Amino acid sequence: MMGVMRLGRVEVRVTDFKQSIDYYSNVMGLQLMAQENGRAYFKAWDEDDHHSLILVEADHPGLVHVGFKVRREEELDRFEKALEEYGVRVGRVSKGERLAEGQAIRFTLPTGQVMELYHEIERPGNGLKLNPDPYPANLKGIAPPHLDHLLISGDDVKGTTDLLMNVLDFHMSEQVILQEELTATFLFRTNTTHDIAVIKGPDAKLHHFAFALNSWDDVLRAGDWLARNNIAHDEGPTRHGVTRGLTIYFFDPSGNRNEVFSGGYAPGPDFIPVTWTEERFFTRGIFYHRGESNERFSTVFT
Amino acid sequence: MMGVMRLGRVEVRVTDFKQSIDYYSNVMGLQLMAQENGRAYFKAWDEDDHHSLILVEADHPGLVHVGFKVRREEELDRFEKALEEYGVRVGRVSKGERLAEGQAIRFTLPTGQVMELYHEIERPGNGLKLNPDPYPANLKGIAPPHLDHLLISGDDVKGTTDLLMNVLDFHMSEQVILQEELTATFLFRTNTTHDIAVIKGPDAKLHHFAFALNSWDDVLRAGDWLARNNIAHDEGPTRHGVTRGLTIYFFDPSGNRNEVFSGGYAPGPDFIPVTWTEERFFTRGIFYHRGESNERFSTVFT
Amino acid sequence: MMGVMRLGRVEVRVTDFKQSIDYYSNVMGLQLMAQENGRAYFKAWDEDDHHSLILVEADHPGLVHVGFKVRREEELDRFEKALEEYGVRVGRVSKGERLAEGQAIRFTLPTGQVMELYHEIERPGNGLKLNPDPYPANLKGIAPPHLDHLLISGDDVKGTTDLLMNVLDFHMSEQVILQEELTATFLFRTNTTHDIAVIKGPDAKLHHFAFALNSWDDVLRAGDWLARNNIAHDEGPTRHGVTRGLTIYFFDPSGNRNEVFSGGYAPGPDFIPVTWTEERFFTRGIFYHRGESNERFSTVFT
Amino acid sequence: MMGVMRLGRVEVRVTDFKQSIDYYSNVMGLQLMAQENGRAYFKAWDEDDHHSLILVEADHPGLVHVGFKVRREEELDRFEKALEEYGVRVGRVSKGERLAEGQAIRFTLPTGQVMELYHEIERPGNGLKLNPDPYPANLKGIAPPHLDHLLISGDDVKGTTDLLMNVLDFHMSEQVILQEELTATFLFRTNTTHDIAVIKGPDAKLHHFAFALNSWDDVLRAGDWLARNNIAHDEGPTRHGVTRGLTIYFFDPSGNRNEVFSGGYAPGPDFIPVTWTEERFFTRGIFYHRGESNERFSTVFT
């Protein structure tokens, strides 16, 4: 069973719906695809699918669900069965519950987050399918090409990691082991360092979700754009030791942490994982250049 | 059957063995892992496997075989069976035929090249597995992190494409259709624009094989290093329209075309392919900036 | 006498006025400041002065005049006297002959081009003088920050070089000596590799004028924008051996060659010049990566 | 009188001579030119002069003197006279007081630092004067091409600024005015944003001296190299609002703050200065991305 393709969507709560739509449209530079029933749907410019980010108005920020797209519709049944055999209770999301989506299966990770698997979604495409230029002419804002990964927190890091690896066939690129306890894992289905990562922390929480950028130069331009727009900054531009990624962290208007991420390496299913220990994780692992973490980065979850 | 992981190795003929070893070691910046029985084995610094490039001395350049690594040893039997059902004659390569490798299955593509599938190979690793820095300290030469893709030529582009897609489950990122004929295809197993591409041309030939670079800046540094070493230049630095990749082409001492490649996008199995036609393929498709191909690029194969 | 500050303006002939205005506005990304009496005046976004490029409609392309800005108005008299003592006939351009400009002195270089020295010009500024962001928010097109240099041709390379160095106190960064003849010189007043260069060729002609870019990444984006707009390409992206500069050459709609240029080094008046000879000028000197020039680059002047 | 060419050298105290030599050789990547009489002399690879950094062993870090190179030897007399007329007491440094240097004039700035003006110094060159490649083949460490600028502190910012502008003909690119008091100035002789800057703070102190880098990508590589070598980090990679520069700050083994700096713009003597006020200086002025300064950056001087 090898059908999970990629992180397809994150649904997050925002406390000021209008301001958030403005932020994700004009600062992050996503395309607002639709607004309906209290939800706003966005896609990044290079994605073929209808949306990868869903905003829902709420009185506090955080993650509603994370969705991974599987290769074929019929795999939903197989994953449902495998999850239940593994001891996970699985529900169904009907087609039409949200816009442009088909049905999905839904379950809760040991760390408390709701995950969905789905295949069907409308596919408007990226508009670059016939003799194309390499990117659209009039991108605005940061304009990342696609959603990249997310980092979730909870107590049972091992439980979520095992489920993702054993049932959904995720692979591990890196792990953090502090005082012999598995403290964080970086897991992938695409050939990137992580599509999802799990870290010890409060249950059912989101640390950040990240959009991809093409280069360190794009990270600089993103930083410039964020500063110009007075977006709350968390860290960067810098390099992570973990994953080698080039990054900036910042906050959306509701306090959900965002990242733009470039670089890293290209692991396959046979990649020999990297291990970080207390010897270097807090110095070179998190922020490679600075050599120490920042308080906010370690403590703010939504 | 979804087990092909990536382009694992290319074996190429070189006419001056010693000069070629020097070139791939000091100009390309690969690590010479072993030299035995008339073959030299190289790995790029970020690869875990023992080698990705094998040189064999011969009186003319060209491709001996291209090898794709599959996820599990037992998949060899399944692929063997599937290929034979598809009408392809399959042979076995015994463990020990080349250094550090296990057994493989071998067959010939409709375009004439020999392809192998294998799983077993010694794995020295990249040396960056415990609290690592992001790359080794003393890289020399271009020092690409890993082998990326190759482009082969032949008459039956459709035949090779169909075999790769239908039996080995490759996905298509881009295709070139000139006067209604399928002229080139770009196929992937990893989330890159191509692990292998096939183009109309002389049978059983190699157009180029490519190593990955991390950035446009690394492409510049590669170009500088090639110039400093008076390596025969073909084209670049530039961008391809096809794949959006950033590139330089050049020739090894025997005349095999090499490329270093960065960028492109990150397609999944559900990617909606891009199509190029005579309207733009020869202008913006091949070399996006220059707007025309060069004679040598279109006619030199080894 | 050390008062020449920089290349202040080039006035060029264009054969299609309207199309040229569109090109310099939307492709090159300059700001159209005014249009009056058959001339169009442009400034680059980071320049404080009113304009650095003037277009004049004509039946053939080419250079009308090149203007260098001196530090103080009173230096015009001193330069006039010094030029006349050197044997150069000097004329006066009255304030108001062109828009926004004060008076200038005018003379003809030994290679045949008309040069002006001036101080007075209106100064709208770059709009970034109080607590600024690092660049304007809504730049369009290539949007170079400023005019950088020009290359002129003629028979008497030595004559023009001597005049610029001996009377106007230009410094030499690089020279090309082929078969013991001074074939090209690169001269500067700012701390860049050249504000003006002179090369053996047809008298009174322009090889190209160049705008500055900040980085190799900006050179790529410029190349992408030129390709998207189907602008006639000459060469690049590449690096020059001479000056180390990173570059693309292309043509405006009338056939005047343009360049965007980044990099190089930062010579002072005491810089020990670089010399190029036939041994490497045509291989690594002109286009460092390619290792040879292109026919068009060596033969097209306007 | 326009003869000051550039920041030619800084002489700094170090508390561990041997470790400092190792640091500036292998981490910063300068060339150790000589060691004599308790001093170590370094040049950056692209400088023609014998040295730009002098280390002297002492029991506390800090600046011994800053030297600016003037264009001609005879200008020393003229500057001496002008300084004395301005009310500054001027001394002479004899040829041979330090290695490879000719005579100099010496005086103390109103902010307390010792400044020298000189012309004569041995000139080994950069080794790239005949048909050169764009840079040496075997650079080690960060390897900046040249010394760029320094920032000094003191109470009388206006006094030092006036002296530099009125007597030495420095130009101003930017100034910081807080509560109507001139708090910092950025002054240049080359076409860069600053060769020297002055900021309100303890008298006779050094905030940092900086070496130039060519690109944002080089800033990343510098950051990587610093982290790999566990060098004490201060801030960055980031962009300054002031000067637009791209930067990392860090400390040499004695606690002298170093910077590597890229970018900025290219002002001439007629540049209209930028002014920063309390409205944005502490948010976007110092560290543009982060939007706030760091305690250490504002309080540590040597």
pLDDT at residue B126 above 60? yes
Sign of CA dihedral C236, C238, C244, C245: positive
Chain A residues whose CB is inside 8 A of the B247 CB are none
- Verdict on whether the full-model pTM lies above 0.90: yes
- pLDDT below 70 — which residues of chain C? 1-2
Mean pLDDT of A72-83: 96
Chain B residues whose CB is inside 8 A of the C282 CB are none
Q: Are residues C151 and C40 in the same domain?
A: no
Residue A138 pLDDT grade (very low, low, confident, very high; cuts 50, 70, 90): confident
| Beta-carbon separation of D239 and A233 below 8 A | no
* Closest CA in chain A for residue C140: A138
Q: Tell me whether residue B22 is in a domain.
A: yes
Q: Are residues A75 and A182 in the same domain?
A: no
Mean pLDDT of B204-211: 98
Q: Are residues D99 and D197 in the same domain?
A: no
Mean pLDDT by 10 residues, chain D (302 residues): 89 97 98 97 98 97 98 96 98 97 98 98 98 96 98 98 97 97 98 98 98 98 98 97 98 98 97 98 97 92 94
Q: Residue A31: what pLDDT?
A: 98
Mean pLDDT of B118-142: 97
Hey, is the C-beta of B217 within 8 angstroms of any chain C C-beta? yes
The phi and psi torsions of D187 (rounded to 5 degrees) equal -125, 145
| CA B181 remoteness from chain centre | 24
Q: Are residues C151 and C295 in the same domain?
A: yes
Q: Residue C138: what pLDDT?
A: 87
Give the pairing of strands B53-57 and C233-239. unpaired
Q: Tell me whether residue D123 is in a domain.
A: no
Tokens matching residue D225: 């190299």
Q: Tell me whether residue A133 is in a domain.
A: no
3-state secondary structure chain B: CCCEEEEEEEEEEECCHHHHHHHHHHHCCCEEEEEECCEEEEECCCCCCCCCEEEEECCCCEEEEEEEEECCCCHHHHHHHHHHHCCCCCEEECCCCCCCECCEEEEECCCCCEEEEECCECCCCCCCCECCCCCCCCCCCCCCCCEEEEEEEECCHHHHHHHHHHCCCCEEEEEEEECCEEEEEEEECCCCCCCEEEEECCCCEEEEEEEECCCHHHHHHHHHHHHHCCCCEEEEEEECCHHHEEEEEEECCCCCEEEEEEECCCCCCCCCCEEEECCCHHHHHCCCCCCCCCHHHHHCCC
Q: Tell me whether residue C135 is in a domain.
A: no
Where is the domain boundary, A72, A103, A118?
Answer: A118
Q: Is A135 a catalytic residue?
A: no
Q: How many CB pairs under 8 A join A and C?
A: 15
Residue positions counted in chain B:
302
Residue positions counted in chain C:
302
**Global ipTM:** 0.96
Q: Residue C2: what pLDDT?
A: 65
Of B220, B227, B239, the CB nearest to C223: B239
Q: Are residues A78 and A216 in the same domain?
A: no
Could you give the CA distance from residue A15 to residue A52 in angstroms, rounded to a whole number?
A: 19
Residue A2 pLDDT grade (very low, low, confident, very high; cuts 50, 70, 90): low
Q: Tell me whether residue A131 is in a domain.
A: no
- Which of A51, A65, A171, A194 does the annotation list as catalytic? A194
Where is the domain boundary, D118, D136, D166?
Answer: D118
Of B132, B191, B265, the CB nearest to A46: B265
Q: Tell me whether residue B136 is in a domain.
A: no
Average pLDDT over chain B reads 97
* Span A16-55, pLDDT tens digits: 999 999 999 999 999 999 999 999 999 999 999 999 999 9
State how far residue A262 is from chain B, nearest Cα, in angstroms.
10
At what angle are helices D216-228 and A216-228 packed, to 10 degrees? 100
Chain A residues whose CB is inside 8 A of the C217 CB are 215, 217
- R_g (Cα) of chain D, nearest Å: 18
Of B192, B216, B272, the CB nearest to A125: B272
Q: Residue A87: what pLDDT?
A: 97
- Closest C-alpha among B73, B274, B49 to residue B145: B49
Q: Are residues D100 and D228 in the same domain?
A: no
Q: Are residues B291 and B203 in the same domain?
A: yes
Q: Are residues D110 and D242 in the same domain?
A: no
Q: Tell me whether residue C181 is in a domain.
A: yes
Q: Are residues B173 and B261 in the same domain?
A: yes
Q: Are residues B94 and B41 in the same domain?
A: yes
Q: Is D41 a catalytic residue?
A: no
Total count of domains within chain A: 2
Q: Is A119 a catalytic residue?
A: no
DSSP secondary structure code for residue A96 in this structure: T
* Closest CA in chain D for residue B132: D228
pLDDT at residue B253 above 80? yes
Q: Tell me whether residue D135 is in a domain.
A: no
* Span B72-103, pLDDT tens digits: 999 999 999 999 999 999 999 999 999 999 99
Q: Are residues D164 and D80 in the same domain?
A: no
* Span A238-248, pLDDT tens digits: 999 999 999 99
State how far residue C138 is from chain B, nearest Cα, in angstroms.
24
Q: Is the peptide bond before C134 cis (omega within 30 degrees of 0)?
A: no
Where is the domain boundary, B102, B118, B134?
Answer: B118
> Which chains touch B (3+ CB pairs under 8 A)?
A, C, D
Q: Residue D2: what pLDDT?
A: 65
CATH number reported for the structural domain that contains residue A272 in this entry = 3.10.180.10
3-state secondary structure of C15: coil
| Beta-carbon separation of B217 and C220 below 8 A | no
Q: Are residues A276 and A162 in the same domain?
A: yes
Q: Residue B2: what pLDDT?
A: 64
Host domain of residue B52: 4-118
Chain A residues whose CB is inside 8 A of the B48 CB are 270-272
